[in-house]
């Protein structure tokens, strides 16, 4: 049983509505109370990098705005009416009905209502995401179960080189757009054709293309395993699971070699690209070295407070590339027990035999208590959310907001992934340090 | 109908004030049909977009009380808006030099098992943790759809705490599904403050004004105005301390910047403790501030001082207003705001010389808690010209359709997530985020210059609109904007 929480770092299962919003021209229809959409958008998008409403987010999301009447007498009629009119008013290519607590506790037969529209040819699916069922990582996987089972159709052909990319959660990760773009660029450099489902691109057309891919690339510690396994089961598409978000030359090189080998890309192609990128990358690293070594403002040990994507990815980079020392890492999403051994193993395999302690849990009070009982000899680097800027200040640390909620910066296309992303991260970290006193 | 502080929760606005969220017609028609004791029925929609709920409004007031804590008894998503409340918290504390800390809020993280076996245990944990972590002077327990439907015994859990938590622990009934009018959440919060915090007056404070507001950005301005007539404001509820809230019953008068916000607490303090509540139009624009100051002056016997103050304020700003009116002449606007602002800004835009083509009000209270129609709508309806008027809980598809038909020069809006959609249509949007926008004589001229700036350089909206499309079908733009509103009694 998950305990009570101070300082939310993710939202409930219905938060997966933002994954729908991230697909251009896909339209969520939420069967929920009047405040759910606003609260989830506020937490995941508006207060998290100020990501905006996009095509159909924020208050544009169709919703039954369930009231006492729907709770007492059931909300199926209201839902039917709302879906019917959504199909007239809202211009989209895929409609996803998602439920909130009210509908799921009352027990509305949403499937029955939605199937009646699907039977008439509407591109519509449903998923039961009542907030009490789990967090938005869980809801995100439920969403894909629904799209795979109710929307995708088997493909007659496999498109060689086409790779579906499954990685960070849209909106939950304020840097998702830039990150997916960076991953796509890396794959293209190997001669592969990335199928990026979210963000600027082809929208629902890229969803429909999923079954024809050569393979699914899961670039994630655990989120999405359920999705790629389901895709393998349903369409026979194999998957490559690479757990660490590649940040910096070391991990990105390993990532490219792994993907290249899996996809049958010629070794010379891979090595030529890595060499070209590293030459450029290390030109800048060399420039940074003067500051990094000849300054009195070096950070001490580092702490990450982020979901497993970022906690692991950042820790790898900071240890293996920047040469920093880990203090403790907090993993904030609810990681199912069965996936923890893999994450623990990843945190025990860094260069120089370094190991970082890992704590699971999102409660800000626990983070505060854990950090205040530690002795930091130098000012620590604290990569967390905007909540953590307060404890960072108390510890005289250097805070950089990398995880939801990021409310102290506007995020557009920034990413920390790949070669270029690592340079951005290095700039960001040392800019925080240098601007902390001037 | 008097406010009843002996019951555990404030009745929702629909039942208390005849509040509606669905209407389309004209301003004069709405006023005529809701005057002299008459009421109209709400028109339901057969299509709607996600709105907002009471819980958000309750928490936005309570989360920023300087030394209180909240336990939000809900699944984690219901705390999604606390991210934004924390931004407001940092902003408010920074400018008040209150020290840097996060909001003090614990979410009980309700899960499936809690909906089956009940969430009382977690609620108890949450309250005990809030006490242990924050040592607050009071703890508010906000409810949710989930905790409300499964029927968790909030009061029972609180009463069993006994001496373990030696400060007031107060339930705030703000389940989202109970009301379509998110402002019901303000009343839920005020009810909790009134029943759990406020004490009977020990000694009246003849110079103290309860100033009911949100973020309180114009504190220095308000302090100066009040200071010139020998009064002192106490800004409530955000950023006040529990101790300050305990003694609002001792104030000489209660005034508000937003009559939607102030109705419940103002009326309750008047009925319960004899603190007069200023029932004039809100203090926006010359006309608004003058009526409001006179209301305050009358309540405390300082009429002559108020007249002199008004003279001085007017003299300092009149020439500026003339220049603004000259520059804005011929500009046409649509506005979409909460009821108090929608009504009040009809007057404000009149004063600036801007013609309003249509006004949308996020809800409409047919009367306030003291039993009268909102004064600002009466004033707006007394003008010679009638205007097209709608009521909707921020239904953007109606607004988008309306704007694309009327093509105004400016869209004035109030509420996060509303103005950007006008900008996407290429219409200059002027959001009224700060409640003190157009407050008083100086506020009106500042607002006027801001509008002039906004219409002077339209490059951003023009380029934006050139690229983006709103999510509505072409079919929708051919329909009447209010065609999904079921017709009520005519």
Q: Are the beta carbons of A36 and B52 separated by less than 8 Å?
A: no
Residue B37 pLDDT class (50, 70, 90 cuts): confident
- Could you give the domains of chain B? 46-196 (3.40.50.1980), 208-306 (3.40.50.1980), 317-477 (3.40.50.1980)
pLDDT higher than 70, residue B490 = no
A38, A86, A105: best to mutate for the B interface, most B CBs within 10 A: A38
Q: A21-35, B232-246, B475-489 — which is least confidently predicted? A: B475-489
Residues A433, A398 contacting (CB under 8 angstroms)? yes
Shortest distance between the Cα of A423 and any Cα of chain B, in A, equals 29
Residue A352 pLDDT class (50, 70, 90 cuts): confident
Element housing A213 (H / E): strand A213-219
Question: Please, which residues have CB within 8 angstroms of residue B237's CB and are 6 or more apart in sequence?
Answer: B61, B62, B64, B65, B189, B190, B193, B212, B245
Cα–Cα dist A41/A58, whole Å:
6
Residue range A339-367: mean pLDDT, rounded: 92
Place of tokens 């606390």: B82
pLDDT, tens only, B309-338: 999 999 999 999 999 999 999 999 999 999
> In chain B, how long is the greatest CA-to-CA distance?
68
Query: pLDDT at position B488, please?
Result: 56
Q: What φ, ψ does residue A181 adopt, rounded to 5°?
A: -65, -40
Which of A55, A60, A133 lies at the smallest CB-CB distance from B396? A60
C-alpha dihedral, B419 to B423 to B427 to B430, nearest 10°: 40
Three-class SS state of B333: strand
Task: Locate the DSSP E strands across B338-452.
Answer: 355-361, 388-391, 410-413, 428-431
Mean pLDDT of chain B: 96
Residue A353 pLDDT class (50, 70, 90 cuts): confident
Query: pLDDT at position A298, please?
Result: 79
A36, A59, A78, A81: best to mutate for the B interface, most B CBs within 10 A: A59
pLDDT, tens only, A377-428: 999 999 999 999 999 999 999 999 999 999 999 999 999 999 999 999 999 9
Using left for φ > 0, alpha for ψ between -120 and 50, and beta otherwise, residue B136 falls in beta
Q: What φ, ψ does residue A63 adopt, rounded to 5°?
A: -155, 145
Query: pLDDT at position B284, please?
Result: 98
Which of A10, A56, A90 lies at the smallest CB-CB distance from B473? A90
Say how far residue A348 (Cα) sits from the centre of its chain: 23
Residue range A328-353: mean pLDDT, rounded: 93
Residue range B472-490: mean pLDDT, rounded: 88
Residue range B78-93: mean pLDDT, rounded: 97
Query: pLDDT at position B321, please?
Result: 98
Question: Please, which residues have CB within 8 angstroms of residue A235's CB and are 6 or more apart in sequence?
Answer: A152, A154, A155, A210, A211
pLDDT higher than 50, residue B489 = no
Query: pLDDT at position B378, please?
Result: 97
Q: Are the beta carbons of B475 and A89 separated by less than 8 Å?
A: yes
Question: Please, which residues have CB within 8 angstroms of residue A168's CB and are 6 or more apart in sequence?
Answer: A175, A176, A179, A180, A220, A245, A309
pLDDT, tens only, B376-433: 999 999 999 999 999 999 999 999 999 999 999 999 999 989 999 999 999 999 999 9
pLDDT higher than 70, residue B1 = no
% of chain B residues with pLDDT over 70: 99
For residue B69, the 8-state DSSP code is E
Q: What DSSP string describes A309-331?
A: HHHHHHHHHHHHTS---EEEEEE
Which of A14, A47, A59 lies at the smallest CB-CB distance from B87? A47
Report the alpha-carbon angle B295-B297-B298, nearest 5: 65
Shortest distance between the Cα of A253 and any Cα of chain B, in A, equals 37
Residue B15, chain A, CB below 8 Å: the answer is no
Shortest distance between the Cα of B166 and any Cα of chain A, in A, equals 21
Which of A30, A59, A68 lies at the smallest CB-CB distance from B177? A68
Residue range A220-229: mean pLDDT, rounded: 98
Residue A1 pLDDT class (50, 70, 90 cuts): low
Query: pLDDT at position A299, please?
Result: 81
pLDDT, tens only, B137-189: 999 999 999 999 999 999 999 999 989 999 999 999 999 999 999 999 999 99
Q: Are the beta carbons of B76 and A106 separated by less than 8 Å?
A: no
Q: CA of B134: which chain A residue's CA is closest?
A: A365
Residue A350 pLDDT class (50, 70, 90 cuts): confident
Rounded to two decimals, the ipTM of the complex is 0.96
């Amino acid at each position: 049983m998950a305990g009570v929480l101070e300082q939310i770092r993710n939202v409930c299962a219905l938060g997966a509505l933002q994954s729908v919003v991230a697909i251009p021209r896909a339209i969520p229809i939420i069967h929920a109370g009047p405040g759910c959409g606003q609260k989830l958008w506020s937490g995941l998008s508006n207060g998290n990098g100020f990501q905006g409403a996009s095509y159909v987010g924020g208050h544009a999301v169709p919703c039954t705005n369930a009231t006492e009447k729907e709770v007492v007498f059931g909300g199926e009629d209201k839902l039917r009416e709302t879906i019917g009119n959504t199909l007239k008013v809202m211009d989209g290519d895929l409609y996803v009905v998602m439920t909130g607590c009210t509908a799921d506790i009352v027990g509305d037969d949403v499937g029955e209502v939605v199937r009646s529209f699907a039977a008439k040819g509407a591109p519509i699916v449903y998923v039961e995401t009542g907030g009490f069922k789990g967090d938005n990582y869980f809801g995100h996987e439920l969403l894909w179960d629904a799209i795979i089972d109710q929307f995708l159709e088997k493909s007659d052909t496999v498109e060689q080189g086409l790779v579906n990319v499954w990685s960070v959660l849209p909106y939950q990760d304020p840097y998702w757009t830039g990150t997916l773009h960076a991953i796509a660029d890396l794959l293209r450099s190997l001669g592969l054709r990335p199928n990026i489902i979210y963000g600027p691109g082809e929208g629902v057309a890229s969803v429909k293309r999923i079954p024809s891919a050569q393979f699914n690339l899961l670039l994630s510690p655990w989120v999405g395993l359920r999705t790629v396994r389901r895709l393998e089961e349903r369409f026979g598409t194999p998957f490559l699971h690479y757990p660490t978000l590649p940040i910096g030359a070391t991990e990105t090189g390993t990532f490219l070699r792994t993907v290249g080998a899996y996809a049958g890309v010629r070794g010379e192609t891979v090595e030529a690209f890595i060499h070209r990128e590293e030459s450029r990358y290390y030109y800048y690293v060399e420039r940074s070295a003067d500051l990094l070594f000849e300054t009195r403002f070096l950070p001490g040990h580092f702490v990450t407070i982020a979901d497993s994507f970022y906690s692991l990815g950042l820790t790898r980079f900071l240890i293996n590339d920047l040469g920093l020392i880990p203090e403790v890492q907090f993993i904030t999403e609810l990681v199912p027990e069965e996936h923890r051994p893999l994450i623990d193993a990843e945190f025990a395999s860094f260069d120089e035999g370094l190991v970082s302690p890992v704590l699971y849990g999102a409660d800000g009070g626990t983070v505060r208590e854990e950090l205040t009982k530690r002795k930091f000899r130098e000012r620590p680097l604290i990569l967390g959310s905007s909540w953590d800027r307060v404890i960072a200040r108390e510890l005289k640390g250097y805070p950089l907001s990398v995880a939801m909620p990021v409310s102290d910066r506007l995020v557009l296309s920034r990413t920390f992934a790949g070669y270029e992303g690592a340079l951005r991260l290095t700039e960001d970290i040392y800019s925080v340090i240098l601007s902390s006193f001037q | 109908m008097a406010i009843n502080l002996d019951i555990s929760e404030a009745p929702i606005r629909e039942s208390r004030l005849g509040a509606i969220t669905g209407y389309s017609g004209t301003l004069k028609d709405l006023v005529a049909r809701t005057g002299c004791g008459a009421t109209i029925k709400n028109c339901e929609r057969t299509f709607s977009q996600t709105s907002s709920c009471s819980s958000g409004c309750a928490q936005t007031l309570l989360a920023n009380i300087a030394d209180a804590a909240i336990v939000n008894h809900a699944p984690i998503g219901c705390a999604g808006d606390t991210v934004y409340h924390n931004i407001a918290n940092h902003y408010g504390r920074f400018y008040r030099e209150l020290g840097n800390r996060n909001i003090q809020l614990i979410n009980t993280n309700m899960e499936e098992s809690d909906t089956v076996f009940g969430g009382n245990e977690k609620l108890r944990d949450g309250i005990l943790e809030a006490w242990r972590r924050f040592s607050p002077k009071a703890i508010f327990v906000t409810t949710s759809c989930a905790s409300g439907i499964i029927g968790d015994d909030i009061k029972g859990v609180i009463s069993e705490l006994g001496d373990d938590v030696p400060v007031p622990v107060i339930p705030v009934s703000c389940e989202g599904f109970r009301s379509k009018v998110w402002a019901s959440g303000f009343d839920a919060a005020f009810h909790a403050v009134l029943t759990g915090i406020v004490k009977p007056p020990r000694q009246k404070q003849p110079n103290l004004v309860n100033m009911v507001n949100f973020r309180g950005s114009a504190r220095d301005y308000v302090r100066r105005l009040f200071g010139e007539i020998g009064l002192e404001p106490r800004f409530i509820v955000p950023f006040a301390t529990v101790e300050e809230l305990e003694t609002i019953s001792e104030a000489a008068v209660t005034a508000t910047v937003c009559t939607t916000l102030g109705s419940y607490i103002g009326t309750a303090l008047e009925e319960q403790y004899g603190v007069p509540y200023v029932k004039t139009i809100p203090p926006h624009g010359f006309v608004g501030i003058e009526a409001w100051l006179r209301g305050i002056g009358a309540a405390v016997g300082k009429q002559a001082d108020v007249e002199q103050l008004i003279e001085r304020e007017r003299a300092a700003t009149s020439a500026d207003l003339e220049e603004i009116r000259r520059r804005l002449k011929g500009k046409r606007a649509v506005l979409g705001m909460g009821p108090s602002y929608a009504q009040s800004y009809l007057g404000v835009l009149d004063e600036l010389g801007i013609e309003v083509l249509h006004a949308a009000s996020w809800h409409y209270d047919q009367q306030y808690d003291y039993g009268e129609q909102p004064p600002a709508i009466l004033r707006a309806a007394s003008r010679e010209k009638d205007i097209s008027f709608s009521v909707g809980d921020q239904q953007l598809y109606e607004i988008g359709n309306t704007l694309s038909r009327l093509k105004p020069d400016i869209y004035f809006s109030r509420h996060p997530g509303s103005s950007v959609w006008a900008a996407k249509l290429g219409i200059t949007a002027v959001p009224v985020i700060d409640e003190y926008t157009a407050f008083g004589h100086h506020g009106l001229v500042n607002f006027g210059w801001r509008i002039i700036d906004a219409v002077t350089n339209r490059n951003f909206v023009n380029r934006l609109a050139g690229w983006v499309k709103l999510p509505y079908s072409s079919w929708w733009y051919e329909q009447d904007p209010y065609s999904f509103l079921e017709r009520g009694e005519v």
